[in-house]
Amino acid sequence: MVTSAHEGLHRIFQDRPEILSPVFGILGVQLPAKATVDAVTTDVTETRPLERRVDTVLRVGPSDGEDFLLAIESQSGKVAGKEESWAYYVAYLQAKFRLPVLLLVICQDSATAKWAVGPFDCGTRGWTALRVYPLVAGPDNLPVITDARTAAKNYALAVLSALAHARSPHRDAILEAIASALQELQETDPESAGYFFEFLEITLGKTPAGEKWNEIMSFVSYFPGRGTVRETAYLEGEVKGEARGEAKGILTVLDVRGIAVSASVRERITSCTDLDRVDAWLERSRTVERAEDLFADDPDVPAADPEQA
């Protein structure tokens, strides 16, 4: 079951891929400073009755070697049979994309991290056909960051530190350091500050650490109408959520009416966060003859050349 906290955990890798550099360093995997990171479809389903999805799959293009895939899974506890799924993910992704595959598992407690490190074998009668060695990040190898200046040097790593050590005695100090650093970031990069605030609020949830985080942020930065981290994150989330719902409605209407939707049109609909524009598209979806006609009256779409009509 995918929860909001689960969703928030792996979204950070897709939206803020710079977090990969320090995590790779901690795990002892060499990755140059210059590398491209692109999201890859997480669907590893082969037949309709069998559905499997990796949390996040990234294609990493280091400047000093061949591309590879990074499959990222989050684990809050030991799950029976999960190791078989991981072996399947690695084998399937390698076969599909013809690229090397690394598996990174993010854990929130030491016991889960010790289990997740494996190795996990597939074989019988003394013969191993497949062995999986996940990379594991958790409280035993992610640093405890309790200084605001250190947190400000790498916000993403500080946030993961808070998640990994949410049950430790250092919890409050870590969260207070991050809150102080985010207050400074708010002045120069409110979008990133809002993202990290939202990430922690979602992933920590209703745990004691989550309650502490809400307490800190309510005291330090929640002043309605002042464009604070908390308010910005909340309002942007509300608008994006409504836009996603409207976009789904548009695609449903077009599907019911039997109107084909190209990949470019689908991308434009689902990526739009302008609620007024999406509302207009939803209204037009009931009458247009082609999906492209949704955008006919948009001001940013150039008028058709009469000589080419």
pLDDT tens, 134-174? 999 889 988 999 999 999 988 888 888 888 888 889 999 99
Is the domain of 164 the same as that of 130? no
Once rounded to an integer, what is the mean pLDDT over residues 211-229?
61
Is the domain of 153 the same as that of 109? no
Q: DSSP label at 249? A: H
Once rounded to an integer, what is the mean pLDDT over residues 97-114?
90
Q: Shortest CA distance to 104 belongs to which of 29, 1, 196?
A: 29
Q: DSSP label at 64? A: T
- CB burial class (10 A; 0-12, 13-18, 19+) of residue 258? exposed
Is residue 306, in this structure, part of any structural domain at all? Answer: no
Once rounded to an integer, what is the mean pLDDT over residues 229-247?
60
Is the domain of 8 the same as that of 132? yes
Is residue 143, in this structure, part of any structural domain at all? Answer: no
Compute the C-alpha angle 101/12/41, nearest 5°: 45
Q: Which pLDDT band, with edges at 50, 70 and 90, does 302 fall under?
A: very low
Is residue 234, in this structure, part of any structural domain at all? Answer: no
Is the domain of 17 the same as that of 120? yes
- The residue out of 189, 221, 253 marking a domain boundary is 221
- The chain-wide mean pLDDT, for the chain, equals 77
Buried b (16+ CB within 10 A) or exposed e, 182-201: bbebbeeebebbbbbbbbbb
- CB burial class (10 A; 0-12, 13-18, 19+) of residue 20? buried
The SS3 call for residue 84 is: helix
- CB burial class (10 A; 0-12, 13-18, 19+) of residue 238? exposed
Strand partners, 57: 40, 71
Q: What are the tens digits of pLDDT across the range 47-58? A: 444 445 676 788
Is residue 195, in this structure, part of any structural domain at all? Answer: yes
Distance from C-alpha of 11 to C-alpha of 6, rounded to nearest angstrom:
9
Is the domain of 130 the same as that of 157? no
- CB burial class (10 A; 0-12, 13-18, 19+) of residue 62? middle
Q: How many CB atoms lie within 10 A of CB 284?
A: 16
Give the model's pLDDT for residue 306. Answer: 39
Is residue 16, in this structure, part of any structural domain at all? Answer: yes
* Pairing mode, strands 120-124 and 101-107: unpaired
Is the domain of 211 the same as that of 260? no
Is the domain of 153 the same as that of 184? yes
Is the domain of 45 the same as that of 98? yes
**Number of folded domains in the chain?**
3
Is the domain of 16 the same as that of 124? yes
Is residue 162, in this structure, part of any structural domain at all? Answer: yes
Is residue 287, in this structure, part of any structural domain at all? Answer: yes
- The residue out of 107, 137, 167 marking a domain boundary is 137
Is residue 197, in this structure, part of any structural domain at all? Answer: yes
Is the domain of 121 the same as that of 31? yes
Q: Give yes or no for residue 234 having a pLDDT over 60.
A: no
Q: Give yes or no for residue 82 having a pLDDT over 80.
A: yes
Residue span of the structural domain in which 114 resides: 4-137
Q: Which pLDDT band, with edges at 50, 70 and 90, does 29 fall under?
A: confident
Give the model's pLDDT for residue 99. Answer: 92
- The residue out of 221, 254, 274 marking a domain boundary is 221
Q: How many CB atoms lie within 10 A of CB 72?
A: 24
Q: Give yes or no for residue 275 having a pLDDT over 60.
A: yes
Give the model's pLDDT for residue 144. Answer: 92
Q: Shortest CA distance to 19 belongs to which of 144, 104, 114, 118?
A: 104
Is the domain of 165 the same as that of 254? no
* pTM, entire model: 0.57
Is the domain of 213 the same as that of 255? no
